[in-house]
Structure 1
């Protein structure tokens, strides 16, 4: 697909969690293509991806290995990127883990780990970038939720609980920091056909059933999510905050 251009993102300092694989890698490339300076974190290595991006664009993304459930390590990574690229004015909280599980098998350790990845890290990443955004006089935070909790899906209750929490947190942060010209929005992807999804959960039968629920009868690709995030990060959406944007082919409604 042809990606739209958002000229105000050129030179922007962007921080992405989970920015080296799946939707996150597509996000990193999408911001680089706009001329932004991108830093990202994830637990797994990203040397090959960084080299690929460096060969394709004028500047390579700055990769900082980090377990986002370690709040101090996350803060240190954000500080490192801000030191290299300038104060972060765009934060994309993308990293998540939608491991399948049932209610009766969940123990306290699994619950705490799931919330640490899928919700807690989002809050503390936002907390870490907001002072720099306040000093810059503006900023945009995009939090990844999911349509899974709006659909009432079974199969990952700890994950869907975090998704609902992300939407609530988004609204509270938008209200608190709106006077600082910091916009906070959430994006709720539908079933995006990443390599991970295809390898682990996509079957012809499951995909056909989900496409039947969509108004638009096409598979959702990572690039479809990237365009929406770029819009929410840019001044094109300057009067949008506290909103949840579903990019799901028309499965759910949010109004």
Structure 2
């Protein structure tokens, strides 16, 4: 079977809600056992039960990606539970939407410490075991904001642009050790972070007009891409950013006027 993750162990950061749960669910459906993480692991109990109902082994660990000691402890606990980590999905992230002139020093640090520094040090901690075993799949979750500028998303876009570059550097660092590193970059998806924007119908229509496929992303649009990057079928793919964005990153502008009724 292609895209079969049976026997693999995946750690997904930020699985208390949102896309992190969709990534974990997709990997479990493909056969992987799961390590779920959150700053408060008690919040993971319902999702843990859901993963077990799929027939997968799972364990939850506490992880704060902004804390070095927490990262080291979580990875050690995960490896003790399963003996290995084959797949890492670096999903934990956050955003603060503000005009650039309103961004504070603390806003910048919170976003970059979580999204960029956290992703690097989680990857570093997990990669040590992967390198020893000569096998690993690291998937950094990026964003279409890594390749396009959006007002109000300066620090967030900077963090995701950093993820894209970091992916290329780590791929070059660890490729010789059997570890691939890729970036999965969603476009405009409705999540807990941005759901208020999707309540504005005028904005949704404006957004869809800019997307060649004429709709925002659905979480299940990411199932195939994340499983592919986690699987043996992606063995010769590394250092790449896979944009799953309905084509909006192409930057196309309607070149013809709308037809008259």
Q: TM-score over 0.5 for the alignment? A: yes
Query: Could you tell me how far apart the structure 2 residues matched to 1:77 and 1:49 are?
Result: 18
CA shift, 1:219, in A, is 3.2
In the alignment, the residues of structure 2 paired with residue 38 and residue 140 of structure 1 have an alpha-carbon distance, to the nearest angstrom, of 14
1:127 CA drift (Å): 0.5
Equivalent pairs counted in the alignment come to: 248
Structure 2, unmatched stretches of 5+, are 252-261
Please say if 1:12 is aligned against 2:11: no
Q: How does 1:118-197 map to 2 (within 5 A)?
A: 118-194=115-191, 196-197=193-194
* TM-score, normalised relative to structure 1: 0.91
Q: Pairwise CA RMSD of aligned residues?
A: 1.8
Q: Which runs of 5+ in 1 are unaligned?
A: none
Q: Following the alignment from structure 1 to structure 2, what is the Cα–Cα distance between the partners of residues 226 and 96?
A: 19
Looking at structure 2, the residues matched to 61 and 100 of structure 1 have their Cα atoms a distance apart, in angstroms, of 34
1:36 lines up with 2:37 in the alignment: no
Residue 5 of structure 1: CA displacement?
5.9
In 2, are the aligned partners of 1:20 and 1:28 still within 8 Å (CA)?
no
Matches within 5 A, 1:1-255: 6-7=3-4, 9-44=5-40, 45-54=43-52, 56-194=53-191, 196-198=193-195, 200-202=196-198, 203-253=200-250
Q: Which residue of 1 aligns with 2:257?
A: none
Shift of 1:195: 5.0
In structure 1, distance between residues paired with 2:14 and 2:84: 20
Tell me: CA distance 1:196–1:162, structure 2 relative to 1, closer, same or farther (3 Å): closer
C-alpha distance in 2 between matches for 1:76 and 1:149: 30
In the TM superposition, residue 110 of structure 1 has moved relative to its aligned partner by 2.1
Partners of 1:147 and 1:158 in 2: how far apart? Answer: 14
So what's the TM-score if we normalise by structure 2? 0.89
Q: Is the 8 A contact 1:185 1:242 kept in 2?
A: yes
Once residues 216 and 162 of structure 2 are traced to their aligned partners in structure 1, the CA distance between those partners, rounded to angstroms, is 27
